Structure 1
């Protein structure tokens, strides 16, 4: 039973990252997990949302712990210090990506959910909160320039997507036989990504 659940979660992590959380086929996930019963997902998890919750629970504890540590440090910095807050997103993401393929795929999924937060089922939203990211973004929101709600939400979504995709792309290149351009050492990559993300978050206000 547990082996079947584990196989389904692993297959779902892969499929959700490749095809999208809301579009990946549950039948295809079942096939990838080596299950013949087409209703295996519903039997073990109840629904697509139940399966997604199980996927999110894989690395939620790690992210919550690391983000919590860095968030506590960020709260002690000046009120206009965006980089200190963003570090609580960037550094745990880089560390998770470097654990392997599952970590990288997980970040792709998180990135999609952040952009589609208004579509999330209550249980999925609760699981996403379990990663600790919401507390980080509450502090980041307080330190952003004075923006209207629509622009603030857009900026937070774009900055988050930029961070997570950058980290996932770096991890993907490290796994590839042909990684393309040379990659920066980890710490320099982190510092550069922080600087770029802070500049995006603190960009001049857009009128109209």
Structure 2
């Protein structure tokens, strides 16, 4: 019987984690279910390969971010430095929506929607996993174009906008995974989400001239 390499085992655990985290939630998922689904006999396989539950979740999200980055690179290359918020939001959501193409991406969208509170935006410092990435730079460019907003409002709105986008993408991913027919087609869904988020970011601030 052929032995699997450490990298092969890691990949099996990551794929199993995507499935279990998406179905059970990042907090409710049982590591034993992940180990079993990955076909591993060692109950400590997650600790051995990733150090902890958090390490495994980081690996899942690193793979998810890598896929998004591949889509973002050519999109951002076509945008000029003076492009507006709407164009930047379109690039961001197009990259996110690319994950809807297969079940693996759909599961990752459901997982990442649970983690939007960890971006670090409200503190003004991006999470280390996002810092220095195209995704992180894109968020920064959107923030730069909202300079008319008071600082705390800008940070809060950006954070809430990402939460809105994440929830919308996760909802559509859920529909695809469960075979539920969506109310709108993908083109209208994305266009409407861009406009809704754009309007949210530019809404007047009460009491602010």
TM-score under structure 2 length normalisation? 0.80
Q: Which of 28, 33, 53 is the equivalent residue of 1:28?
A: 33
Q: How much has 1:170 moved relative to structure 2?
A: 1.9
Give the gaps of 5 or more residues in structure 2: 1-5, 121-126
Asked if 2 retains the 8 angstrom alpha-carbon contact of 1:77 and 1:84, the reply is no
Residues 10-29 of structure 1: matches in 2 within 5 Å?
10-29=15-34
Q: How much has 1:44 moved relative to structure 2?
A: 0.8
Task: Count residues with an aligned counterpart.
Answer: 198
Q: How much has 1:46 moved relative to structure 2?
A: 1.4
Q: Which of 5, 12, 31 is the equivalent residue of 1:7?
A: 12
Give the gaps of 5 or more residues in structure 1: 119-124
The CA deviation string for residues 2-39 of structure 1, in whole angstroms up to 9 with x for no partner, is: 33212210121123333443453323322332323221
Give the RMSD, CA atoms, in angstroms.
2.7
1:117 corresponds to 2:119: yes
Asked if 1 retains the 8 angstrom alpha-carbon contact of 2:109 and 2:173, the reply is no
Q: Which entry has the higher C-alpha Rg, 1 or 2?
A: 2
Residues 36-185 of structure 1: matches in 2 within 5 Å?
36-78=41-83, 81-98=84-101, 100-118=102-120, 125-129=127-131, 132-144=134-146, 146-179=148-181, 182-184=183-185
CA distance in 1, matches of 2:47, 2:129: 19
TM-score under structure 1 length normalisation? 0.80
Asked if 2 retains the 8 angstrom alpha-carbon contact of 1:15 and 1:24, the reply is yes
